[in-house]
Chains A and B, each alone.
Chain A
Amino acid sequence: MSTWWSRLKALTRRLAAGEKADRALDEEIQAYLREDIDARIRSGDSLEEARRAARAELGGVEQVKERVRDVRTGAWLDALVQDARYGVRTLLKTPDYSLAVVGSLSLGIASVIAAVAFANGITFRPFPGVRDQRELVDVRLEECARSHSGCIPMDTRHEDYLALREAATDLQGIAASTATTVAAALPHPRPLSASLVTANYFDVLGTTAAVGRTFAPEEANLDRAGVAVIAHRLWMREFEADPTVLGRAIRVADQDVVIIGVAPQRFAGVDLRIDRSGPDIWLPMPLVDRVANATAVSDDPPTGDRYFRYIGRLAQGSSFEQVRAQADPIAQHITARNGIRRPVRAAVRPVRMYPRDELAPIIALVLAVGSIVLVIACVNAANLLLARGSARQHEIAIRIAIGASRRRIIRQLLTESLLLALTAAVLAVPLVWWSLRIASGYLIVPMPLDLTVLAATVIVAGASAVACGLAPAFRITAHAPAAAFGPAQATGATRAQTRGRRAILVVQVALSLGLLAGGVQLVTALSALHRSSGTPPDRLLIASFDLKQLNVREADAETFYAQLLARVSRLPGVQAAGLAPARAVWTFHRGKGRDNSVVVWRPADGPREGTVPLGGYAAGHLIEALGLQVLQGRSFTDDDRRASRPQVAVVNRPFADQILEGQALGATLRVAARGQPYTAATEVRVVGVIEAAQEPSYVRDPPYAVPTIYLPAPLEPAYALALYLRANESAAVAPLVRDVVRQIDPRVPILQLESLAQADERIFLAENTLARATAILGLIALFLATWGLYGVVSYMVTLRSREIAVRLALGARPSTILRMVLSNAMTPAALGAAVGAAAAIVIGRVIQSEVHAPGGVNPAAIAWPAAGMIAVMLAASALPAARAGRVNLLQLLKEN
């Protein structure tokens, strides 16, 4: 112990002494030498002989000093400090080179950190404000298709929830929730995303209010249920974070509710998805029938049920299977009650932001792209280090000659690359922080730069330092010192070195071309899938309304929509306007809303054999506004529209083909609103077949359209409708529509007002963002690659400038030299471009099969980057070659 103590003292003393300790050591060895010489003279040697013998025995003052330094406590620390100091000095001496390496590495490191932050954000981040998330389970009552394994949640009733709560004794608690959009007056009319929850919802999630309280048990009764918890975001935005908001009454649908609490910041229950920001307001479940428009997603015959999500918290030591077994009888009970003929089951799953299978490919894609950028950056840096190493061969040869070991030199070079990588990492962090700030505007997933991400940064920086520094360090120190002083050095590179560089070049060109072309193809694929028929998405404006929430009478609703249609049709720039239930034209993969559900019976169908297509009431010039062509027969006439009950119908191509087997025109159908019995159905005659409005799709299926039927008059009072406007410029018309609505009835909120292009953008935000991120990373990779390529190629040519000058002096023609230089650079470039293009074609095919891109592989996406890269390589080799041609041979020979 005392030994350790004295070593520590020695270390601190020496560190305090600094250079003095080294001088003392030097002096001590010199004194030894003098004593030795004296002694040798005393024994009869001449001064010269004595000196030589003494020095020979000592073996060099510096070497002895080096050995003493090696045994000192903290020798490695000394060495590190020394290496680092030396490294900083060396790197500062050539700032342009250092900047190039740091810049390249920081872009590469930033890409990986961003990818890690993204993966970290969506995999490991818990739902904000939710306690012990691991205990939470999703209890789903599902009905499954017979033919395949796909299961969708069943619609259920409140009594099913009560039964579930009773049965699931292995849960500490179970809560139900259902989502809807409500019209609220705050006091300005405004649509709010609402979640109707059971009173125990916040308790099950373990969430306490940021301000005020959450729901109390007695608020499960209708007469006490006029209360609300608002989202932190809404509180900030609408109430300026005023704490006195508690107790204030707001109007939601036609219901007055009192604000009792504010949810914690970012709390969104367990519904948070990549493209959704979560509810604005939570309301007690008893209000569900008052405020919620139907959001049932089921295709099956109408029931009074709706979709509820059930979240449970597992009791200590309970298993998923126990809960599943307890919930299963309830699923069977619902089947019997609702007459469901398909298999049903209860499923219990952990609550996650994303299901694992959905997440894995996204994370893999993002991490892979980020890593490829880093690889390119490392290759760049390695090339630069190698080039720099050749230039430093003199210095290194001298260090080896005066006694430095190869290991020591390698350590020195690695320390330098570590310094560069750490600087790069330090620069990368703000770069990532800034880009994540931008990204988090689009993606709701929190992507904080937490400890995991910072640890990853350090690891990535270290790894890239080793990756880009190791090979050059070995290469550079592999030369015999003599070679560095000889004339061979002038050519700058051994044959192996040149081959190595060429190989790196091929890899670099191939990687960046493949990545970039893949990214471009992904982006074009994703944007190309948007509708090929009908009104262009940016010219179709959609505005949706729900008057049911305002509790208006049927006649008032009718008047409102009639006035709306008449006035917007007269707006400047509007070509056609029509009304239809929300999601009657496109489902946007959210299922058919109940509002637009029509049940249709063919003449031969029995009462229980009706089908539920998309569509329903279509007012005004809907088909014209959508820009759908009439393929057979005709569109609606004013006479059709004047009838109070529909007498005719227009169907789309899939309806005609699939339901009417091609014999559409003139067919007679019975139609009823969903929920009405067969006996209440009306007979209609099909007078026209129109082109289908294709569903936008990123999934593997080919583009498809749902069978759709349109009727010129409503089957039941229409409260919730969407306005479809074909305009020259939807952005210019949108504020005019807002004005028109305000003039007709200022209480009516516009639930959504956006062009179809905006709706697509919103709904496929995650996919779009990922595609763009990939393309941006591809651009960074291209930038890095061209930069690196230029550096390497021009360096390789510069190394040969002596040879070029000699050849020219000996009478070679400049064109011959140029051809030689160009072929040397272009061969690896062409090879790399070929490999990269092949990779890009493969990537294109994969993308095509995954997202269904029309047109398949995009040749332009490959040709442009390839052409650009080859142009860069041409410039990089031709410019130094031209310079070499002007070199004064005498000057060059003198230098060597």
Chain B
Amino acid sequence: MTARKDVPQGTLDLLILRIIAREPLHGWGIMQRLRQLTEQVFQVTPGSLFPALQRLEESGWAEGSWDTSENNRRAKYYAITKAGRRQLAREEQHWKAITIAVARVLEGA
């Protein structure tokens, strides 16, 4: 079993924004999507998920509202806001630029 790595600082916010950009999700749902998408490369625990959600909500990039889940339970759903989409676009651009640059350096070396 390969050791899973902690999510790089700030990346978790970007990943969550990406996930809720498709549809509003509650905490557990976001957690599942994260696991699927990162193929369990990153170790995300509820202990880091909830602070991240708190940050996004306080920054005005995500908005939480209480609703009923598919299992008929009350849950807090997070939806991306307009400001969140702008932030996501910015971050994606930034991230791509970095990865391209890093990849170029690594290949060139």
Residues of A participating in the B interface, judged by any CB pair closer than 8 Å:
2-3, 5-7, 9-11, 24-25, 27-29, 31-32, 34-36, 38-39, 57-59, 63-64, 67-68, 70-73
In the complex, chain A residues whose CB is within 8 Å of the CB of B28: 31-32, 35-36, 39
Rounded to whole angstroms, the CA-CA distance of A411 and B55 in the bound complex is 24
Of all chain A residues, which has the CB nearest B58?
A10
In the complex, chain A residues whose CB is within 8 Å of the CB of B45: 57-59
Known: A2-B60, A6-B58. A71 touches B51 (CB 8 A): yes
> Are B51 and A68 neighbours in the complex by a CB distance under 8 Å?
yes
- Among B54, B57, B69, max chain A CB count under 10 A is at B54
Question: Does chain A have a CB within 8 A of B38?
Answer: no
In the complex, chain B residues whose CB is within 8 Å of the CB of A59: 45-47
Question: Does chain A have a CB within 8 A of B104?
Answer: no
Query: How far, in Å, is B67 (CB) from chain A's closest CB?
Result: 11
In the complex, chain A residues whose CB is within 8 Å of the CB of B46: 29, 32, 57-59, 64
In the complex, chain B residues whose CB is within 8 Å of the CB of A71: 51, 54-55
12 A-B pairs with C-beta separation under 8 A: A6-B83, A7-B59, A10-B57, A11-B58, A32-B28, A57-B45, A57-B46, A67-B47, A68-B50, A68-B54, A71-B54, A72-B58
Question: Does chain A have a CB within 8 A of B85?
Answer: no
> Are B58 and A35 neighbours in the complex by a CB distance under 8 Å?
no
Rounded to whole angstroms, the CA-CA distance of A10 and B60 in the bound complex is 9
Of all chain A residues, which has the CB nearest B28?
A35
Rounded to whole angstroms, the CA-CA distance of A787 and B54 in the bound complex is 51
In the complex, chain A residues whose CB is within 8 Å of the CB of B74: 27, 31
> Are B26 and A2 neighbours in the complex by a CB distance under 8 Å?
no
- Among B45, B60, B69, max chain A CB count under 10 A is at B60
> Are B50 and A67 neighbours in the complex by a CB distance under 8 Å?
yes
Interface code B55-69, partner A: CB below 8 Å = 1, 0 otherwise? 101111000000001
Known: A6-B58, A10-B57. A70 touches B73 (CB 8 A): no
In the complex, chain B residues whose CB is within 8 Å of the CB of A73: 58
Question: Does chain A have a CB within 8 A of B33?
Answer: no
> Are A35 and B83 neighbours in the complex by a CB distance under 8 Å?
no
- Among B26, B54, B58, B69, max chain A CB count under 10 A is at B58
In the complex, chain A residues whose CB is within 8 Å of the CB of B29: 35
Say which residue of A3, A31, A36 sits within 8 Å of B76 (CB atoms).
A31
Question: Does chain A have a CB within 8 A of B71?
Answer: yes
> Are B26 and A31 neighbours in the complex by a CB distance under 8 Å?
yes
In the complex, chain A residues whose CB is within 8 Å of the CB of B14: none
Rounded to whole angstroms, the CA-CA distance of A48 and B100 in the bound complex is 48
Q: Interface of chain A, helix or strand or loop or mixed?
A: helix
Rounded to whole angstroms, the CA-CA distance of A25 and B76 in the bound complex is 10
> Are B73 and A3 neighbours in the complex by a CB distance under 8 Å?
no
In the complex, chain B residues whose CB is within 8 Å of the CB of A29: 27, 46, 50
Question: Does chain A have a CB within 8 A of B41?
Answer: no
Known: A3-B60, A6-B58, A73-B58. A31 touches B75 (CB 8 A): yes
Query: How far, in Å, is A538 (CB) from chain B's closest CB?
Result: 78
Which of under 10, 10 to 19, 20 to 34, or 35 or more describes the interface residues of B? Answer: 20 to 34
Say which residue of A2, A10, A24, A32 sits within 8 Å of B27 (CB atoms).
A32
Say which residue of A6, A11, A24 sits within 8 Å of B59 (CB atoms).
A6
> Are B51 and A31 neighbours in the complex by a CB distance under 8 Å?
no
Rounded to whole angstroms, the CA-CA distance of A11 and B54 in the bound complex is 12
Rounded to whole angstroms, the CA-CA distance of A853 and B76 in the bound complex is 83
Rounded to whole angstroms, the CA-CA distance of A723 and B45 in the bound complex is 98
> Are B60 and A67 neighbours in the complex by a CB distance under 8 Å?
no
In the complex, chain A residues whose CB is within 8 Å of the CB of B32: 39
In the complex, chain A residues whose CB is within 8 Å of the CB of B60: 2-3, 5-7, 9-10
> Are B83 and A2 neighbours in the complex by a CB distance under 8 Å?
yes
Rounded to whole angstroms, the CA-CA distance of A262 and B15 in the bound complex is 80
Interface code B20-47, partner A: CB below 8 Å = 1, 0 otherwise? 0000001111011000000000000111
Query: How far, in Å, is A178 (CB) from chain B's closest CB?
Result: 75
In the complex, chain A residues whose CB is within 8 Å of the CB of B58: 6-7, 10-11, 72-73
In the complex, chain B residues whose CB is within 8 Å of the CB of A38: 71, 73
Rounded to whole angstroms, the CA-CA distance of A10 and B62 in the bound complex is 12
Rounded to whole angstroms, the CA-CA distance of A58 and B86 in the bound complex is 32
Of all chain B residues, which has the CB nearest A10?
B58
> Are B27 and A31 neighbours in the complex by a CB distance under 8 Å?
yes
In the complex, chain B residues whose CB is within 8 Å of the CB of A2: 60, 83
Of all chain A residues, which has the CB nearest B54?
A68
Of all chain A residues, which has the CB nearest B59?
A3
In the complex, chain B residues whose CB is within 8 Å of the CB of A36: 28
Rounded to whole angstroms, the CA-CA distance of A29 and B74 in the bound complex is 11
Rounded to whole angstroms, the CA-CA distance of A39 and B31 in the bound complex is 12
Rounded to whole angstroms, the CA-CA distance of A32 and B76 in the bound complex is 9
In the complex, chain B residues whose CB is within 8 Å of the CB of A27: 74
> Are B50 and A35 neighbours in the complex by a CB distance under 8 Å?
no
> Are A63 and B47 neighbours in the complex by a CB distance under 8 Å?
yes
Known: A7-B60, A32-B27, A58-B45. 18 other contacts (CB 8 A): A3-B60, A5-B60, A6-B59, A7-B58, A28-B75, A31-B27, A31-B28, A31-B69, A32-B46, A35-B73, A57-B45, A59-B45, A59-B47, A63-B47, A67-B47, A67-B48, A68-B50, A68-B51
Query: How far, in Å, is B86 (CB) from chain A's closest CB?
Result: 9
Of all chain A residues, which has the CB nearest B27?
A32
In the complex, chain A residues whose CB is within 8 Å of the CB of B48: 67
In the complex, chain B residues whose CB is within 8 Å of the CB of A57: 45-46
In the complex, chain A residues whose CB is within 8 Å of the CB of B57: 10
Query: How far, in Å, is B100 (CB) from chain A's closest CB?
Result: 27
Known: A31-B73, A38-B71, A72-B54. A64 touches B26 (CB 8 A): no
Rounded to whole angstroms, the CA-CA distance of A73 and B48 in the bound complex is 16
> Are B76 and A64 neighbours in the complex by a CB distance under 8 Å?
no
Rounded to whole angstroms, the CA-CA distance of A27 and B76 in the bound complex is 9
Rounded to whole angstroms, the CA-CA distance of A693 and B38 in the bound complex is 103
Rounded to whole angstroms, the CA-CA distance of A71 and B27 in the bound complex is 17
Of all chain B residues, which has the CB nearest A73?
B58
Query: How far, in Å, is B49 (CB) from chain A's closest CB?
Result: 8
In the complex, chain A residues whose CB is within 8 Å of the CB of B83: 2-3, 6
Say which residue of A11, A35, A64 sits within 8 Å of B47 (CB atoms).
A64
> Are A35 and B51 neighbours in the complex by a CB distance under 8 Å?
no
Those of B71-99 within 8 Å (CB) of chain A: 71, 73-76, 83
In the complex, chain B residues whose CB is within 8 Å of the CB of A31: 26-28, 69, 73-76
Rounded to whole angstroms, the CA-CA distance of A29 and B47 in the bound complex is 10
Rounded to whole angstroms, the CA-CA distance of A441 and B26 in the bound complex is 74
Of all chain B residues, which has the CB nearest A70?
B51
Of all chain B residues, which has the CB nearest A72?
B54
> Are A28 and B55 neighbours in the complex by a CB distance under 8 Å?
no
In the complex, chain A residues whose CB is within 8 Å of the CB of B27: 28-29, 31-32, 35
Query: How far, in Å, is B84 (CB) from chain A's closest CB?
Result: 11
Query: How far, in Å, is A233 (CB) from chain B's closest CB?
Result: 63
Say which residue of B55, B59, B71 sits within 8 Å of A35 (CB atoms).
B71
Rounded to whole angstroms, the CA-CA distance of A364 and B21 in the bound complex is 69
Query: How far, in Å, is B55 (CB) from chain A's closest CB?
Result: 6
Of all chain A residues, which has the CB nearest B75?
A31
Query: How far, in Å, is A280 (CB) from chain B's closest CB?
Result: 69
Rounded to whole angstroms, the CA-CA distance of A39 and B48 in the bound complex is 20
Query: How far, in Å, is A494 (CB) from chain B's closest CB?
Result: 34
Of all chain A residues, which has the CB nearest B48?
A67
In the complex, chain A residues whose CB is within 8 Å of the CB of B71: 35, 38
Rounded to whole angstroms, the CA-CA distance of A3 and B90 in the bound complex is 14
Say which residue of B50, B55, B59 sits within 8 Å of A64 (CB atoms).
B50
Rounded to whole angstroms, the CA-CA distance of A748 and B96 in the bound complex is 104
Query: How far, in Å, is A76 (CB) from chain B's closest CB?
Result: 15
> Are A35 and B26 neighbours in the complex by a CB distance under 8 Å?
yes
Rounded to whole angstroms, the CA-CA distance of A3 and B61 in the bound complex is 8
Rounded to whole angstroms, the CA-CA distance of A516 and B3 in the bound complex is 68
In the complex, chain B residues whose CB is within 8 Å of the CB of A34: 73
Of all chain A residues, which has the CB nearest B46?
A58
Rounded to whole angstroms, the CA-CA distance of A38 and B32 in the bound complex is 13
Task: Give me the 8 closest cross-chain CB pairs, A-B, nearest first.
Answer: A6-B60, A35-B28, A10-B58, A71-B51, A32-B27, A31-B75, A28-B76, A3-B59
Known: A59-B45, A59-B46, A67-B47. A35 touches B54 (CB 8 A): no
Rounded to whole angstroms, the CA-CA distance of A91 and B84 in the bound complex is 46
